[in-house]
Structure 1
Amino acid sequence: MTAAQAASLSLSALLRQPVTDSDGHRMGTLADLIVRLRHDDYPLVTGLVVAVGGTRVFVSAADLAALAPDRVQLAASSLDLGEFRRREGEVLLSEDVLGHRLIDVSRVAFVKAYDVQLSPVLDGWAATGLDVHRRRWLSLGPRHSAHPPRDWKDFEPLIGHAESAQVRMATGRIPELKAAQIADIIEEATEHEQDELLAQVHENPELEADVFEELDEDRQSELFKDRSDTEVAEVLGRMQADDAADALMDLPQERRVPVLDLLPEPQRALVHRLLGYHDLTAGGLMGTDFLALPATTTVADALTAVRGARLLQPQALTVIYTLAPDGTLAGALSLVHAVQAEPANVLADVADDDVVVAHATDDVVDVTTRMADFNLLAMPVLSEDRHIIGVVTVDDALEAAIPEDWSRRESNHRETGSEG
């Protein structure tokens, strides 16, 4: 145990302890501790909530003379007995954190806070750790937990206090996670938890679109139900066209045309075209992102084009397609082979001209089977005159091939802290 740990206190040991004045006279009992979240540091204790009779009053942390497991002593000899009112940005450790769910950011799972560790810092006291393990019936108390507290910074508390949400959003760590991880968390969250998670994500419109792409259809539809047509169109406008088309079709019929009309060009045109294909065909599965270059392009120029294609999804850049002078498909070159090829070579000399393709009306099962048979990361979908109209990427093929009840498995890490 370090010196800092030895000097640390447990919130649960402090709660309901007598609060005394400078002469040791009892003034009330400790009901809660107030902290302010800080982005790069531990939440600093800024005040106490003291229960005096039936009233909860505020005491500034500057008036705190001593904080110990058996006593809370103030430097003052009197209290302002005005009823406590939470100010914007304040977090109450007992009311908002203790016993509530929070997100274990490193494991991307919900856990519950069973205790809060408080440690002395240069400017007072700070919340430095969380105990997320349920105690056994024979536990010796909060100071004898079998599990040492973990670093506060490993977690994202979901406070749920609407009035302070805007201030707290600046310290939120949810945007640091991958879109698929955030989607998984949202799908497990309660309505109030969802609101807080989505509020953080909403600050980054591109991330918000990525998260909605990853949500399952039912949850996506549920969240769109509470948004206006304009707000839905703003999200769909940043999604991949194929995902946006799927999401649009999941909206109630009376909302589809109004939302479609609000989409920006060229997204509206792409989505409108994709809506003409059945879900269970290559046309319904394909995306509209791909990189196709004249066969006379040099490998060096092709790689420059890959580097510049920042608006295309990465899965669409695993293959470079080559075009004949009439714009029809001529060949395909994997990104790996392009990197390994001589930069001065033209694509026609290094690309494979025997390309495995699909057509828009091909059945999804046939498409995914063909991709598996030929170990393809992407497969072009061609029109009748051999022009590329889209590409089926391996992530979409896997999603179509894997049974729906397998796609969202129960995480082994959910509520991991609830058991010892």
Structure 2
Amino acid sequence: MHLSGLLGRPIIARDGDEVGRVEDVIVRLSGPESYPAVTGLVAGVGGRRVFVSTGQIASLTQQRVDLLQNKVDLRGFERRDGEVLLRADLLDHRLIDVPAAELIHAYDVELEDTGSGWVLARLDTRRPARLFGLLKSHDGHASRDWKAFEPLIGHNQSIEVRRVGGRVSTLKPAQIADLLEDADKREGGEILDRVHTDPELEADVFEELDPDKANKLLGDMTDTEVAAVLGRMRADDAADAVAELRQSRRRRVLDLMPAGQRTKVITLMGFNPSSAGGLMSVDVVECPAGTTAAQALARIAAARSLQPEALLKMHVLGESRELIGVVSVIALVQAEPQLPVEKLMDTDPVRVAPDADLTDVALLMADFNLATIPVVDDSDRVLGVVTVDDVLEATIPDDWRRREPAPRPTREPTYTATVESTTRGTMPQAGDRP
């Protein structure tokens, strides 16, 4: 049964009189593994909106609703915590398509009779065809299983129920960033609310956001909230974000950040953003000469706070902390554990000064097949490292970013339970108000 076909249908009392019309259908969300059960209807009766429970309904069809009794309670309908109204909250709204990691419009809602009650079973996600300005029948609609979606419903009293699914956090940070860039303000607020429960994920998402979008979202947050997010981000991304803040906020936010992160950010902000110094990460994995391959690998394993891309090379330092060589993780893994790194390292690694421009860095990486390149000062001391993903992000043209992303393979989740088996026995008792 389609929701659009049920709305406006007559509600018939037991004696055959029409007592009202269907204005909405009420369900309760019950987690990602269950289909939400229909708990009642919102009926329009003489200008009032009243509640009709499923226990009062004798039969529900696409043409009419028949009641078990002659009267309905005329007290005005008041939504209770956790209740979702399909017309008000779902129809013509967007939801997260979890397998495809995109926002999908709900053009209609399909209800299904399980034998023990009606449930929200599927969504129609294809715009209905029109003939001479009129909607055609629902035949051929794209009907998708409800469990593939994460609802974005703005009703505050159901927000805790919506958080139960938690499937937004299973998406990759770049996918969540794409959702936020496509979302309107209300939808974006809901998505951020889900992500906020995982601070590390929240920081990763902000690293992936378009700078303009990130700046808008940070503009809606307090200084304390902004500092908390930037404090968990990579220092180079945090420096870019601070630079985009209003000048009046920068010092306040910096003062609220953890001391170590604040020092890194201020250091990076001293370089031109399009130079090697502006692109580099100041977190570098390093070891002194005389370190064995096994000891070097142990240092890499312990560097859990560093971005993985920065761990591809071990930087070997001399007595004055000058760079004397680099050795790849692959070489360390393949070497005898007790072999000194001096026997494995490149003693004349490619390096750049902090004022090297983006083009020079990119060409060096391409010419020498480098995934990372160290940035050094005049005394050859390591200041940071530029990774290939930083170079790619800086060199991709803006118009490429606005292109529709290439389709990627998606796999619909396999649901082991049927609609009937997941809902049977869970319906409210007759006449109960949920």
TM over 0.5: same fold?
Answer: yes
Query: Deviation digits for residues 86-111 of structure 1, max 9, x if unmatched?
Result: 12221111111111222222222222
1:65 equivalent to 2:58? Answer: yes
Q: For the structure 1 residues 52 and 375, does the alpha-carbon distance in structure 2 shift closer, same or farther, using more than 3 Å as the test?
A: same
What is the CA–CA distance in structure 1 between the aligned matches of 2:92 and 2:266, rounded to whole Å?
48
Structure 1 match to 2:42: 49
1:131 and 1:147 in contact (8 A); partners too: yes
Amino acid corresponding to residue 78 of structure 2 in structure 1: R
Match of 1:243 in 2: 237
1:383: Cα distance to partner?
A: 1.8
1:291 maps onto 2:279 in alignment: no
Return the match for 1:230 from 203, 216, 224: 224
Paired residues of 1:12 and 1:142 also in contact (CA < 8 A) = no
> Which whole-Å CA distance do the structure 1 matches of 2:250 and 2:309 have between them?
28
Instruction: Give CA-to-partner distance per residue, 1:386-415, whole Å, 9 cap, x none.
Output: 2211110111111122222323423467xx
Q: Measured at CA, do residues 148 and 226 of structure 1 come closer, stay the same or move farther in structure 2, by a change above 3 Å?
A: closer
- SS for the counterpart of 1:106 is coil
Distance 1:141 1:120 in 2: 25
What is the root-mean-square deviation in Å for CA atoms of aligned residues? 2.3
Equivalent in 383, 403, 407 of residue 397 of structure 2: 403
Task: Flag structure 1 segments of 5+ consecutive residues without an equivalent.
Answer: 1-8, 414-420
Equivalent of 1:100, from 93, 96, 116? 93
2:199 corresponds in structure 1 to 205
The amino acid across from 1:260 in the alignment is L
2:244 is aligned with 1:260: no
In structure 2, the CA distance between the partners of 1:143 and 1:399, relative to structure 1 (3 Å rule), is: same
Q: Report the counterpart of residue 11 of structure 1 in structure 2.
A: 3
Q: Is the 8 A contact 1:201 1:208 kept in 2?
A: yes
Give the alignment's TM-score, normalised by structure 2: 0.87
Uncovered stretches (5+) of structure 2, i.e. residues with no partner: 408-434
The one-letter code matched in structure 1 to 2:207 is: E
Asked if 1:36 corresponds to 2:47, the answer is no
The answer as to whether partners of 1:13 and 1:143 remain within 8 angstroms in 2 is no
For residues 275-309 of structure 1, give each alpha carbon's deviation from its aligned partner in whole angstroms, at most 9, with x where no partner exists.
Answer: 11111211111012221122433323333333332
What SS does the aligned partner of 1:237 have?
Answer: helix
Which residue number in structure 1 is paired with residue 302 of structure 2?
Answer: 308
C-alpha distance in 1, partners of 2:406/2:90? 23
**d(CA) in 2 for partners of 1:37, 1:311:** 38
Deviates further, 358-367 or 145-154? 145-154
Is residue 173 of structure 1 aligned with residue 167 of structure 2? yes
- How is 1:84-233 mapped onto 2 (pairs within 5 angstroms)? 84-121=77-114, 124-138=117-131, 144-233=138-227
Counterpart of 1:375 (choices 369, 374, 387) is 369
Cα deviation code 1:300-345 (max 9, x no counterpart): 3333333332211111122222223432222222223333333332
Which range moved further: 302-311 or 97-106?
A: 302-311
Report how many aligned residue pairs link the two structures: 406
Please say which of residues 104-113 and 250-259 is displaced more in the overlay: 104-113
Give the AA of the match of 1:20: I
Q: Is the 8 A contact 2:129 2:135 kept in 1?
A: no
TM-score, length-scaled by structure 1: 0.90
Structure 1 position 85, deviation (Å): 1.5
Q: In 2, Cα distance between the equivalents of 1:252 and 1:278?
A: 18
Preserved contact between residue 128 and residue 138 of structure 2 (Cα < 8 Å): no
Return closer, same or farther for 1:355/1:411 CA change in 2, 3 Å cut-off: same
Distance of 1:210 and 1:178 partners within structure 2: 9
Secondary structure of the 1:57 match is: strand
Take 2:144 and 2:128, find their aligned partners in 1: how far apart are those partners? Answer: 15
Instruction: Quote the Cα distance in structure 2 between the aligned partners of 1:49 and 1:333.
Output: 69
Say which SS state the counterpart of residue 165 (structure 2) adopts. Answer: coil
Deviation digits for residues 58-78 of structure 1, max 9, x if unmatched? 122233332222232233432
Q: Which residue of 2 aligns with 1:416?
A: none
The structural deviation recorded for 1:246 is: 0.9
Is the partner of 2:43 in helix, strand or coil? strand
Identical aligned residues as a percent: 50
Question: Counterparts of 1:345-364 in structure 2 under 5 Å?
Answer: 345-364=339-358
CA distance in 2, matches of 1:412, 1:402: 15
| Deviation for aligned residue 1:186 | 1.1
CA distance in 2, matches of 1:295, 1:145: 73
Deviation of the 1:143 alpha carbon: 6.5
Whole-Å separation in 1 of the counterparts to 2:10 and 2:406: 42
The residue identity in structure 2 corresponding to 1:291 is V
Q: Aligned pair in 2 of structure 1 residues 23, 172: CA closer, same or farther (>3 Å)?
A: farther
**Residues 394/15 of structure 1: CA separation in 2 closer, same or farther (3 Å cut):** same
SS in 2 for 1:41: coil
Residue type of the alignment partner of 2:183:
A
Distance 2:136 2:326 in 1: 64
Residues 1:173 and 1:142: Cα distance change in structure 2 (over 3 Å): farther
Secondary structure (helix, strand or coil) at the match of 2:263 reads helix
Alpha-carbon offset, residue 163 of structure 1: 3.7
